[in-house]
Structure 1
Amino acid sequence: MGVAYSVGEVDHLYTFFVEWSPDMYGKGKKKPCKSCSLKRKKNCLVDKDAAAVNKLHKKPVNPQNAAKWKVITVKDSKRRLSLCSSVESEEEENEEYQEENEDSPVLSDQSQLLDEYQLQKLAAHMPARTEGYPWNLVYSTAIHGSSLKTLYRNMADLDSPVLLVIRDMHNKVFGAFSSDPFKVSQYCYGTGETFLFTFQPDFQHYRWSGENSYFVSGNMESLQIGGGGGGFALWLDADLYHGASFSCPTFNNPPLSTHQDFIVQDVEVWTVRG
Structure 2
Amino acid sequence: MEESGLNPTQVIDSYPDGLDNIVEISQILEASHVSELCKELPPRTIARSWQLAYSTSRHGASLKSLYRKLSATDSPVLIVIKDELDETFGAFLSHPLRLSETFYGTGETFLFMLHPRFKCFRWTGENSFFIKGDLDSFAIGGGSGHFGLWVDENLYLGRSSPCYTFNNCCLSQTDDFRVMELEVWTFT
Same fold by TM-score greater than 0.5? yes
Structure 1 residue aligned with 2:111: 196
SS of 2:79's equivalent in the other structure is: strand
TM-score w.r.t. the length of structure 1 is: 0.63
User: Displacement, 1:220?
Assistant: 0.8
Structure 1 residue aligned with 2:14: 103
Q: Determine the C-alpha separation between the residues in 2 that align with 1:97 and 1:171.
A: 23
- Aligned-partner residue type, residue 15 of structure 2: S
What is the aligned counterpart of 1:214 among 125, 129, 139?
129
SS of 2:37's equivalent in the other structure is: helix
SS of 2:32's equivalent in the other structure is: helix
Residue 179 of structure 2 corresponds to residue 256 of structure 1: no
Q: Determine the C-alpha separation between the residues in 2 that align with 1:189 and 1:172.
A: 27
User: Displacement, 1:230?
Assistant: 1.8
Q: Which runs of 5+ in 1 are unaligned?
A: 1-95
User: Displacement, 1:187?
Assistant: 1.1
- Aligned-partner residue type, residue 153 of structure 1: R
Alignment of 1:17-32 (within 5 A): none
Q: Determine the C-alpha separation between the residues in 2 that align with 1:99 and 1:117.
A: 11
TM-score w.r.t. the length of structure 2 is: 0.90
> Rg: which structure is higher?
1
Count of residue pairs brought into register by the alignment: 178
Q: Over aligned residue pairs, what C-alpha RMSD do you find?
A: 1.5
Q: Which runs of 5+ in 2 are unaligned?
A: 1-6
Alignment of 1:45-84 (within 5 A): none
User: Displacement, 1:199?
Assistant: 2.2
Residue 48 of structure 2 corresponds to residue 133 of structure 1: yes
- Aligned-partner residue type, residue 240 of structure 1: L
Q: Determine the C-alpha separation between the residues in 1 that align with 2:152 and 2:8.
A: 41
Q: Determine the C-alpha separation between the residues in 2 that align with 1:187 and 1:112.
A: 32
Q: Determine the C-alpha separation between the residues in 1 that align with 2:186 and 2:136.
A: 23
Question: Which digits, 9 at most, give the CA deviation of each residue in 1:43-76, with x for residues without a partner?
Answer: xxxxxxxxxxxxxxxxxxxxxxxxxxxxxxxxxx
Q: Determine the C-alpha separation between the residues in 2 that align with 1:164 and 1:213.
A: 19
- Aligned-partner residue type, residue 265 of structure 1: M
Structure 1 residue aligned with 2:4: none
What is the aligned counterpart of 1:224 among 129, 136, 139?
139
- Aligned-partner residue type, residue 185 of structure 1: S
Q: Which protein is richer in strand relative to its size?
A: 2
Q: Determine the C-alpha separation between the residues in 2 that align with 1:171 and 1:267.
A: 12
Q: Determine the C-alpha separation between the residues in 1 that align with 2:8 and 2:151.
A: 38
What is the aligned counterpart of 1:166 among 71, 74, 81?
81
Structure 2 residue aligned with 1:70: none
- Aligned-partner residue type, residue 59 of structure 2: H
Structure number with higher relative contact order (C-alpha < 8 Å, ≥ 6 residues apart): 2
Question: Which digits, 9 at most, give the CA deviation of each residue in 1:141-176, with x for residues without a partner?
Answer: 010000000000000010010000001100100000
SS of 1:269's equivalent in the other structure is: strand
Structure 1 runs of 4+ with >3 Å offset: 96-100
Q: Determine the C-alpha separation between the residues in 2 that align with 1:263 and 1:97.
A: 32
SS of 1:182's equivalent in the other structure is: coil
Q: Percent identity?
A: 47
SS of 1:189's equivalent in the other structure is: coil
